[in-house]
Chains A and B, each alone.
Chain A
Amino acid sequence: MNEYILQVKNLKTWFRLDTGTLKAVDDVTFSLKRNETIGIIGESGCGKSVTAHSILRTVQNPGKVLGGEILYDDGSRLADLVNYKPDSREMRHLRGREISMIFQEPMASLAPVYTIGAQMMEAVMVHQDKKDKMAAKDACMEMLRAVGMPDPEQKFNSYPHQMSGGQCQRAMIALAMVNRPRILIADEPTTALDVTVQAQITDLMKRFQKEYNMSIIYITHDMGVIAEMADTIAVMYLGRVVESGSVKAIFQNPLHPYTRGLLKSMPVLGNKTGEKLNAIEGNVPVPLDPPEECGFCSRCPNRTPECGAGIPSLKEVEPGHLVRCFHV
């Protein structure tokens, strides 16, 4: 058995638009160990969500996975998900059963016209060879209880609009967990929730990880959450992973100027010096037909003429710590 359950190598997901090619994901590389959590962090529009959808092959049109490898090890064999067609049997078999996903907006991610129970039942039954309603219902109720849904019997027959945001996110997690997946992709699962509910949800995910031996890909732009949740971190900028390594390496020895900027822009609890928070100058450019240069060079404090000359490669500076910068 492979040490890694999922390895993404040089993933490319591009959107061919009338105005040009949007390179939403352009060379993303990271690896996920069994029973561990990888945090993918970056600003809005850096390609985090597209990366997640590329793994599940649910990228919306006109986006296409055009290159790279997504190696998934189900314990018996290694499959490259890039080779499967998005609506193929193989992909559908994986979705929701081996690899599940929870989404940013829990309210909008539940279909408005079906009850929570109906949607969960469907998620279970679609992966059953022999359709067994009783067993499916039992599994759903058990999971609703496990996620701490108040009054699960009644919530089973409730519609999303009858529940609060936190309850909807619990329902989403129950929906994603009901088939006991090996990988859970959490795409900013707490962004739309208030802070107390956020903590409950992250605790829930950590508990499930232990109970069900699950690996998690946790996508967020919140450095604080990631420090708490993740074992390893991949920092993304403009469709590329610019730095990756263990939580310790990233937080204690950040090498890429972007990672440093991100860490400096984090508020520190109890900091009374009255200093302003550091902000990274400028905005993330839109990767529409991007030039062949380091993606961060337009905002980098340490830029040199060399930075515009090409795209730096991801170099291993110490074991497990990779950086994409000309100057390290």
Chain B
Amino acid sequence: MRKYIVKRFIYMIVLLAIMSVFAFVVIQLPPGDYLTSYIASLQQQMGEVDESVVLNLRKQYGMDRPMWQQYFLWMRNMFQGNFGESFQWRQPVKTLIATRMPMTIVLSLITLLFAYAVAVPIGIYSARHQYSIGDYVASILGFVGLATPSFFLALILMYYSNRYLGLSVGGFYSPEFQNAPWSFARLWDLCKHLPIPVIVIGLASMANVIRILRATLLDELKRPYVVAARARGLKENKMIYRYPVRVALNPIISSIGSILPSIVSGATVTAIVLDIPTVGSLLYNALLSQDMYLAGACVIMLTAITIVGTFISDILLVVVDPRIRLQ
């Protein structure tokens, strides 16, 4: 057990290191960099720009060095807590991410909980009542949920909740609470703003979980141990939850690792439409303006969440499934 966790932990670190290289390469891929466009705008404003100014700027940002040196410089700074400067925001990347990361994580966790809380009972119902009307309704809704573009759903929900429920929509807070100190009123305001993003972002993963759970539970329900448990005199409901559902939950638990990143980053479009300040929308803007340090840091953060999520789901899986513990 301990060996397994240590092994997984080492994998996680190695994977993070590899991913940091990828992140670096990805942000370097687009032609030109922030400086090129910055110099171009300088040229527009002041006509000629002196070669030495350009060179100085390049030196200042370490862009005159070879690529691999730039990577190690970037990594070294990151370990010292220095994520670099955002060209566009003219702020340290660290500050930018620190203001957005907590709410991004909160939103993701709530979305994850919501998706599972709704999807697991529906999946169980669908499997137990295969081909019933309820199963068909759940399947149709599930497919619709998978197929609906999230920004579109976001727009619809925003319109209706503003029009008929009179809620202030968009962002995490109403304008009057935007910069207010924490209070119950502000928390309540936040709670009123959360349902739309949670539903919109959670819907696709919900549909996914329903499909996975329905399929695995249908398989499990046919297994001899289910019949054997029934033949022991257990109540049908209790038996279903204690035996096949328990086994069918394993793939769901292992899917946390893959669902988490899609919730964190896949929410980007939704975040832009709903104007909620998450890391996803920050990354999007950073990529558009070739704000390389900001983009790199965002990519690293999102990968870290994914990898840590997978690590956590691996450990959870060991806890719930004794068959894995053995290896």
Contact = CB atoms under 8 A, between A and B. Distances in A.
Interface in B164-182: none
Nearest to A160: B225
Contacts of B225: 108-112
A122 B326 contact: no
Contact of B231 (A95, A104, A115, A162): A95
B323 A159 contact: yes
Interface stretch (B77-85, B185-193, B232-240): B232-240
B233 A94 contact: yes
Interface string B307-327: 000000000000011110010
Given A108-B223, A108-B225, A109-B224, A159 B322 contact: yes
Nearest to B221: A60
A111 B229 contact: yes
A119 B228 CA distance: 11
Interface in A99-151: 100-101, 103-105, 108-113, 115, 119, 122-123, 126-127
A136 to B, nearest CB: 13
Contacts of A96: 231-233
Nearest to A95: B233
Contact of A100 (B229, B231, B236): B231
Interface residues of B, number: 23
B231 A56 contact: yes
Residue in A87, A97, A109 whose Cβ sees the most chain B Cβ within 10 Å: A109
A53 B227 CA distance: 9
Contacts, number: 75
Contacts of A95: 230-233
A1 B158 CA distance: 75
Contacts of B227: 53, 58, 60, 103, 109
B247 interface: yes
A179 B204 CA distance: 48
A162 B322 CA distance: 10
B224 A103 contact: yes
Contacts of B234: 92, 122, 126
Given A92-B235, A126-B234, A113 B228 contact: no
B243 interface: yes
Given A53-B227, A161-B323, A122 B232 contact: yes
A172 B326 CA distance: 22
A161 B320 CA distance: 15
Contact of B224 (A104, A126, A161): A104
A315 interface: no
A288 to B, nearest CB: 20
A92 B323 CA distance: 30
A34 B41 CA distance: 100
B65 interface: no
Nearest to A61: B130
Q: How large is the interface on A (under 10, 10 to 19, 20 to 34, 35 or more residues)?
A: 20 to 34
Nearest to B223: A108
Contacts of A105: 224
Interface in B1-25: none
A97 B231 CA distance: 10
B246 interface: yes
B236 A126 contact: no
A101 B231 contact: yes
Nearest to B247: A113
Interface in B210-225: 222-225
Interface in A157-173: 159, 161-162, 172
A97 B243 contact: no
A162 B243 CA distance: 18
Contacts of A172: 228
A174 to B, nearest CB: 12
B232 A175 contact: yes
Residue among A94, A112, A161, A172 with the highest chain B CB neighbour number at 10 A? A112
Given A113-B320, A159-B322, A108 B224 contact: yes
A93 B233 contact: yes
Contacts of A60: 222, 227
Contact of A111 (B233, B236, B243, B320): B243
A127 to B, nearest CB: 6
Interface string B122-165: 00000000000000000000000000000000000000000000
20 contacts: A56-B231, A87-B235, A87-B236, A95-B230, A96-B231, A100-B232, A101-B228, A101-B231, A103-B224, A108-B224, A108-B225, A109-B224, A111-B246, A112-B225, A122-B234, A126-B233, A126-B234, A159-B323, A161-B326, A175-B232
Which 6 A/B pairs are nearest by Cβ-Cβ distance?
A95-B233, A96-B233, A96-B232, A109-B224, A109-B228, A108-B224
Given A108-B224, A111-B247, 20 more contacts: A58-B230, A95-B230, A95-B232, A101-B231, A103-B224, A104-B224, A109-B228, A111-B228, A111-B246, A112-B322, A113-B320, A113-B323, A115-B322, A119-B229, A122-B234, A123-B233, A159-B323, A161-B323, A161-B326, A172-B228
